[in-house]
Structure 1
Amino acid sequence: MNATELLTVPCTKHSTFYADVIKGLSAPQKYLDSKYFYDATGDRLFQEIMRCEDYYPTRCEMDILSNQSAAISNVLGRHCRSFDVIELGAGDATKSIHLLQQLQQQHRDYTYYPIDISSNVIDLLEHTLPVEVPGLSIQGLNGEYMDMLLLAKDLSPKNKVVLFMGANIGNFTPDEALQFCRTLRAHLQPGDLLLTGFDLKKHPQVILNAYNDRQGITRAFNLNLLHRINRELGADFNTQQFDHYPMYDPSTGACKSYLVSKTTQQVHIAEDVVIGFRENELIYMEISQKYSLEETDHLAFASGFTPVARFFDRKKWFADCLWKA
C-alpha cells in the first residue's frame, strides 16, 4: 500500500464515518474514533496483535475461561436457577465458548444471546456454535448493545447473565466506564449478573510493551485508520509523515495511543475539507484503561452492582469480575 493513496470507492459526505472524522480532526485536540479501526485490514492486524508475544490481555483472559469456567458456572448456578447468557460484542466467541460448554456439561438451564453489530458475526455463530456446543440454545441479536438488551428482556423473563469480555471496559475513560455501567444497570433487573474483564495495573513496562510491539504491528494498526480515510473518504494522508506514539501513566492507569505529525502539513478530505497539522501535533487514537482491584469494586458499587466473585489468570494480570445487580 502506498503512503499516499487515491480514492478507490465513492466518498459519501452523508456517512456517519465522514461526519465523525471531520468532527474529530476539527477539534482543538484532534482525535479519531477507535471503533473505525476495524475494516478488513484492521481486523487482520488486530488478530496479529493478539498473537504478539508482548500482547498479554487476550492470553490472560483465555487462561481464565479455559481453566476456570467450571468455577464460574458453579457461582452462576448458586445465584440463578435458569438464565439467559447475553454476550455484548460476541465476536467469534473464542473465549466464551469455554463457559458455554461448561454450562452444558453442568446441565444449566440457559439460552445464549450473542449481541454484535455485525450480521455476519451473528450468522456465523448461529451456524457454528450448535455444532461445537451440542444442545446449545442460541438466538443471535444483531444491533447496538442497549437496544438488543431491551429486546432480550422482551424475548425472555429469565434472569440475565451479561458477558462483557476482552477488557472492553478499558476502551472507556473512567468517567465513561461509570456512565456505561450505570446505563447497563438501568437495563437489568435486580438479581441479574454481569461478568466483565479488567486488565489490572502491573509493571508499567509490561503494559507499555503490549501497545508498542517490536514488530510494529500496533503502529500499522493505528496508521491503517488513515489509510481507510484515504480510501473511503477521498483523503490524501501521507502516512509516512505520522509516527505512532503510545504512553502509559501508571498513576491513573491510562494507556493511550496517539499519532504524531512529523511536520507542518495539510490533509485534504473529499473535495472541500482541508485539515491543517502543526509539526508534532497529536491525533488521539484510543485509550486502554487499567484498573486496581479496589477500583473495580468502586466502579461496581458506584454503578449499582455488588461484587460477587473474581477470577484471575495465573499471573494475576487480568481479572474477570462477577457483579450482581
Structure 2
Amino acid sequence: MPDFQLIDTGAVRLRVAVEGTGPLVLMVHGFPESWYSWRHQIGPIARAGFTAAAIDVRGYGGSEKPGSVGSYAMEHMVADIVAAAAALQPSGPVILVGHDWGAPMVWNSALVHPERFRAVAALSVPYAGVPSRPFTEVFRAAFTAKGRFFYQEWFQAEGPPEIEAERDVRDFLRKFYYAISGDAPVGTWPDKAAGATLLEQMVDPQPFPAWLTPDDLDYYVAEFEASGFRGPINRYRNHERDFAWLQPYRERLIEQPALFIGGSKDPATTLFGAVTDPVALMQPLVPRLEGYILEGCGHWTQQERPVEVNNLLLDWLTRI
C-alpha cells in the first residue's frame, strides 16, 4: 500500500495516496471509485522515477465530505486539484491524469490553470470544449424528452438515488461496474423508460469479471459504506454551475502535451453515441494530443486493461 497524506486545500482536507519521488503525477478518479482505482498505476509510475499520487476526490473515502450540492461544482473540484498539486510539489508545474469524472476535472484544470499543469492525460471521457449549453439540456433533449431513462437525470433529485445506492452497496457497485464494463454483453446497460430507477433491470454477474477481485470489491464496499453516496452523486447536480463557470474560457485551447485513452465499448468515450471518433473531435481543441482506443475495453479503463494503459501512460510520461 502507498503512504497516505491528508492535504488541507483551505476548503476541505483530501486524502492522497503517495508513492515514489520525482516529478509529480497527480491522479484523479471518477464515480463511483476512489484513489484505489489507480492501484495498478501507482507503483509502476513511481518506479519510473515519478511521485505518483492519487487523491480521494472530495466526498469520497478518506477526504472530507461537504453536504451542499454546490460544494461539488467543477470550480471547487479544480481548486482542490490545484491545492493538492501545490502541496505535493510546491515548485514547478504538475502532470495530471484523470478517469471518468476525473477526466473533465483534469481537462478543466489544464484549461483554466495552464501555468500550473504541464501535461494532462485523461481516460474514458474526451474533451469536447467549453459547453455551449448545460449538459442537463443535452441529455433531457436526447433522452428524457423522448421518454427514455438517463442515469444523470435519475441523479438530479436529492434523496432517492442515494437511498437506492446505499440500500445494498455491494449490489449497487457490482451491477453498476459490470453494466458498462467491456465484459458485459450489449444491452446489459438497459434502455428503459424515463422514471425508472438506476438499478431496475440491471444484472449482477456470477462470477464477476476477473479485473475486479473479491478483495478489490471489498475495499470499495467498505469505503462507500463509510462515506455514503451523497457527495459523489452531488457532482452530477452541478451542470448549470459548471456551464456558467467555464464560459470565460470558450476561446482557449488546451495547449499542453495531452494523452487520451478510451475504450471501444465505453459509452463515455463516444459521449453516449454522439461521437464516432473522439480523438478527431478533440484534436482541434487539444492540438498536442495523442489518442488511443482500446478495442473491447469498457468504462473502467485502467482497471480493465492495466498493462495496456500502463504501457501507453509510461511511454508518454517519459517523452513529455
TM-score normalised by the chain length of structure 1: 0.34
Which has the higher relative contact order, 1 or 2, with Cα contacts under 8 A spaced 6 or more apart?
1
TM-score normalised by the chain length of structure 2: 0.34
When you count strand as a share of all residues, which structure comes out higher? 1
